[in-house]
Structure 1
Amino acid sequence: MSQVVRKSSAVVVRPSPEPGTTRDTIKLSCFDKGLYNMPATTLLVFEHPLHNAAETIRGALSRALAHYYPIAGRIVVVGGGGGDGDDVYIECNDEGLAFIAAHTDHALKELMCFDRSPGARKLLDELAVYYPGMSCGPGDPLLLMQVTEFSCGGFVLGVTWNHGVADGAGMGQLLQAVAELAGGLPSPSVAPVRCDGSLPRLPPSVLEAQQHLLSLDPLGDDLAILDITIPKESIDRVRADFSSSFHGQPCTTFEAALAVLWRCRTRAIRPEPETPTLLVFLADMRKHACAKEGYYGNCIVEQLVMAKSSAVAEGDVKDVVMAIRRAKNQLPDRLKKDEGVVGQQELRELRAYDTLTVTSWRNLGFDRVDFGSGRPARVTASGKDLPPSPGAVGFLCDGRGGVSVLSDLVRQEHADAFLAELAKFM
């Protein structure tokens, strides 16, 4: 692949006129605060053409911002930004977001496999706009959007946003609103809510765990970016085995896929048997926090599962599933009491490479966005946006009942061993 993507100059998109809209400042909640300089990127891959895709989406986005006007504002930080006062907030000033229309002579099929070749990786990384230094500054737009049209007629929507203004579920809600307005609805079907004073305060142990995970030494280029598909048959086999062994208890697709990845990774990197290994998965707490319907700010916590590497690598996969289920069952308590699943001393002693962070986009709504030409054929992260320490993003349907995952789970030296372990489940 030579010339990859031709991009137009960025244009500013602001809310379309909406009489009576209130402009104010919004204090970031304790769920938001640790994320206000952290970017997130999502790529939505659409196989079928949409007439004038970039202009259609840009126009609908402007109308959606009349309802989601805080996203057209800017983050303001007073002092260090880490205290309990009004030190980090969104100034709703309608400065707008950045939008880029782009074209490529490549066909979408060249992207869909997301193989390990440098050319495919370069194409994937060109499909979104990124913040300088991969960090969000106070004067930066809260949302960067790019629509890339392919020679075959398909297109990719690349969305990069400041995580402090919305989590994945919130951004999925915004994109569905844009799609509804592009389709002719006069207003979004879900009324957006950005301020929810009833949200509980997070216990110190949850905040300390978040700060620790964000401070891990980045491994960066040492990690191999792998596009993984776990077939439906493999997932069903794990789920059936778990259910038959634990008196009919159900096992979700997420639990099965996560257990397989954690076990295969641990077996591939072969740490000492007594070495602790930490699994971190992000959980949407809207239900447990009684968030208002339509709330699109952050409402996620990191849930931790720690075990000796020998228990994960050599134990049965159904026991790994059970460890994950126990952690999920403890989620409501993370908001009610200051008792961490893993102690702070244990966290401090962990190496970055012994930590695996996983985000599932399975129920965030990205895969239901339809601008008029059908839902996405694939939703994924970009290679640039993967965590600097071992992690995975995905667990979305691949169209055949399996799940797709983009990951940087292991170092280059362990990539073949990991894929060989994964093949044993296929």
Structure 2
Amino acid sequence: MTGRPTVTKSPPALIPPDGPTPGGTLPLSSIDKTVGGLVNLIQVFPRSSLSTARDDQGAAAAVAAMRNGFSRALVPYYPVAGRVAPSGLAVDCTGEGVLFVEAAASCALADVDGLECCPLLIPGELLLPFPPRGEKLDGHILMAQATMFTCGGFAVGISFSHAVFDGQGAAQFLKAVGELARGFPAPSVAPVWGRDAIPDPPSPPPPQLTEFRFVKQVADISAESIARVKDEFKQAAGEGCSTFDAVTAVVLKCRALALGAALPDDAEVCVAFAAGTRHLLHGVLPAVDGYYGNCVYLACVARTSRAVRESTLAELVGAVREAKDAVAAGFASWMRGVGRFDVPLDYSTLILSDWSRLGFDEVDYGFGMPGYVFPHNDHVDFVAALNYVSPPAPRRGGMRLVLRCVEEPHAAAFAAELAKFA
């Protein structure tokens, strides 16, 4: 490849529902209202992952089937074809549809390292959809862009409204799109709106936000390192732990070591993570499996900086497990209006989200499963954030970390600590 890669985009177009849909206004839940903004992700489909049927039909047929999948999915998921109301408290079921962009890159996926490296060798914004010039992003619930590379591979960029979906819910919708694009008569999981079933306790005051200059980093934790931490915990506690527990303990310790003298010994460092709570709402939601709204509770591990630095990884795994065990009681208290799940949003707090099990890497639009999925949310500078994603082959079995959680003075030290577990 010579020169900087370019992407040529078609004008953005709306894909409306494939049939008539209800109108009206649907209120968002109390959890939906605490989040907002657009979440961006990119699904990478190398030529080797493409299904034989679609590969034989060619790119045009593959994208046409994908568009049809969106159109059909918007009938049962009709609120997604609407717009978030200006108040941010409801969805107006206008039936307008989702924005879709077709695009072609001037290079092969291999020319940009399969979109696996950091920083990306092609601007991520070129792979993401945007509305027509002059039209605001506000209100759009989901937008998609399918970019064809010269090798025959695809990248699918998705932007979804966090006020309407959590990660599991967005993946559920995209799986439905894929199923219908592949000719299923209906989604395998029927969608449930059900926002009015979520309790509405008093809202906490809005947090005080500070803008940071986070450095984007990517690090891999190897399967061998994860197994070693699990073995250490089993020897200490006499029981097993999950990959999430082990990796979160590593992240907590590495970040505390990297911050070092930036925080006093008695300063509290926190790792908060969004724990799914659908399983706690049996009998509350009309159906738990199909619910696609926000359904999480923030669990938090909080220790002094010195305690984290001096703790063994086995001890930190135990702290993560204690935080997970407390979710059910904390969520039940919140539902009664007795507690709330806010955490301090300052430099000492890291908020992580485990994307490795949400299902974004199980979406098949007819291209086959993606070889790699990653978030691209470089606009988030008010909270230290980390996403766990499944690493691309051949590093499967480990965990990839997509990080925006330290500023430049601590970036090298953080990378060096994480590298010990690569």
> Where does residue 357 of structure 1 map in the other structure?
351
Distance in 2 (alpha carbons) for counterparts of 1:179 and 1:301: 29
> Where does residue 251 of structure 1 map in the other structure?
241
> Where does residue 40 of structure 2 map in the other structure?
41
Distance in 2 (alpha carbons) for counterparts of 1:229 and 1:396: 10
* 1:421 is aligned to 2:417: yes
> Residue type of the partner of 1:306?
A
| Equivalent pair of 1:257/1:395 in contact (CA under 8 Å) | no
> Where does residue 153 of structure 2 map in the other structure?
154
| Equivalent pair of 1:353/1:390 in contact (CA under 8 Å) | yes
| Equivalent pair of 1:97/1:142 in contact (CA under 8 Å) | yes
- Where has structure 1 moved over 4 Å in runs of 4 or more? 130-133, 338-342
TM-score by length of 2: 0.87
* 1:208 is aligned to 2:204: yes
> Where does residue 194 of structure 2 map in the other structure?
195
* 1:89 is aligned to 2:90: yes
Q: Quickly say closer, same or farther: Cα 1:113–1:14, change in 2 above 3 A.
A: closer
| Equivalent pair of 1:125/1:383 in contact (CA under 8 Å) | no
Deviation track 1:344-402 (CA, whole Å, cap 9, x = no partner) reads 7xx5xx57211111011122111111122321111110152555322111232544211
> Residue type of the partner of 1:106?
C
Question: Residue 412 of structure 1 is aligned with which of 386, 408, 414?
Answer: 408
> Where does residue 167 of structure 1 map in the other structure?
166
> Where does residue 84 of structure 1 map in the other structure?
none
> Where does residue 265 of structure 1 map in the other structure?
255
Q: Which runs of 5+ in 1 are unaligned?
A: 82-87
Distance in 2 (alpha carbons) for counterparts of 1:274 and 1:147: 49
> Where does residue 62 of structure 1 map in the other structure?
71
Question: Residue 279 of structure 1 is aligned with which of 259, 267, 271?
Answer: 271
What's the secondary structure of 1:165's corresponding residue? coil
> Residue type of the partner of 1:34?
T
TM-score by length of 1: 0.86
Q: Quickly say closer, same or farther: Cα 1:351–1:99, change in 2 above 3 A.
A: closer
Distance in 1 (alpha carbons) for counterparts of 2:182 and 2:116: 30
* 1:227 is aligned to 2:228: no
| Equivalent pair of 2:301/2:323 in contact (CA under 8 Å) | yes
Deviation track 1:110-169 (CA, whole Å, cap 9, x = no partner) reads 24364344xx26433321125899x952xx321111111111111111110111111111
- CA deviation after TM superposition for structure 1 residue 196, in Å: 4.5
- CA deviation after TM superposition for structure 1 residue 54, in Å: 2.7
> Residue type of the partner of 1:382?
H
| Equivalent pair of 2:222/2:421 in contact (CA under 8 Å) | no
| Equivalent pair of 1:5/1:123 in contact (CA under 8 Å) | no
Question: Residue 367 of structure 2 is aligned with which of 366, 373, 377?
Answer: 373
> Residue type of the partner of 1:73?
G
What is the correspondence of 1:24-39 to structure 2 with a 5 Å cutoff? 24-35=24-35, 37-39=36-38
Distance in 2 (alpha carbons) for counterparts of 1:29 and 1:261: 32
What's the secondary structure of 2:378's corresponding residue? helix
> Residue type of the partner of 1:232?
A
Distance in 1 (alpha carbons) for counterparts of 2:95 and 2:155: 26
| Equivalent pair of 1:284/1:300 in contact (CA under 8 Å) | yes
- CA deviation after TM superposition for structure 1 residue 223, in Å: 1.4
> Where does residue 22 of structure 1 map in the other structure?
22
- Which stretch of structure 1 is more off in the superposition, 183-192 or 45-54? 45-54
> Where does residue 85 of structure 1 map in the other structure?
none
| Equivalent pair of 1:39/1:163 in contact (CA under 8 Å) | yes
> Where does residue 180 of structure 1 map in the other structure?
179
Q: Quickly say closer, same or farther: Cα 1:121–1:319, change in 2 above 3 A.
A: farther
> Residue type of the partner of 1:227?
V
Deviation track 1:42-96 (CA, whole Å, cap 9, x = no partner) reads 2111113443233221121011101111001112245xx6xxxxxx211111022
Distance in 1 (alpha carbons) for counterparts of 2:408 and 2:169: 34
Identity of aligned residues (%): 33
Deviation track 1:208-251 (CA, whole Å, cap 9, x = no partner) reads 38x43xx42121xx211111111111111111111221122x21
What's the secondary structure of 1:224's corresponding residue? strand
